[in-house]
Amino acid sequence: MKELSEVRLLRVNRYVIINDEPCKIMSISTSKPGKHGESKARIEAIGVFDRQKRSIVHPVKHKVHVPMIDKRTAQVLALIGDSTVQLMDLETYETFEMPIPDEFKGQLEPGKEIQYLGALGRRKITRV
């Protein structure tokens, strides 16, 4: 899910959608209004799922999409090979499979709890 927000209301460490990718805002800089224009804001952000740097420039009154980031806890049910894990959400009891990020390989075992975040129909493990 996503909602609309004006650029002037965005803050560092919050989220914005750039090129259909949810991104965490790293910096925001604004320029002075011109003779016939309005202030513009330059937003530097990093993709939540792909870790790519992105930037956009918009007038401060422009509306942009902001993703609804869902932070949740899940329990590891089983490891499937070396690269996939089966998880159960501890709130909804939904079971699903996710790829294991490189930084967490070897740390997951059945019964352990992890934290993950979801946005725009995608999920990512954030903490073991």
pLDDT tens digits for range 113-122: 999 999 988 9
CATH number (domain holding residue 31): 2.30.30.30
Number of folded domains that form the chain: 2
Give the pLDDT of residue 104.
86
Give the pLDDT of residue 9.
93
Asked whether residue 39 falls in the same domain as residue 83, the answer is no
Burial (CB count <10 Å: 0-12, 13-18, 19+), residue 6: middle
Q: Which residues of the chain have pLDDT under 50?
A: none
Give the pLDDT of residue 2.
82
Give the pLDDT of residue 102.
85
Asked whether residue 8 falls in the same domain as residue 40, the answer is yes
CB 77 within 8 A of CB 96: no
Nearest Cα neighbor of 9 from 65, 77, 55 is 65
Give the pLDDT of residue 48.
92
Select from 48, 67, 86 the last residue of a domain.
67
Give the pLDDT of residue 85.
93
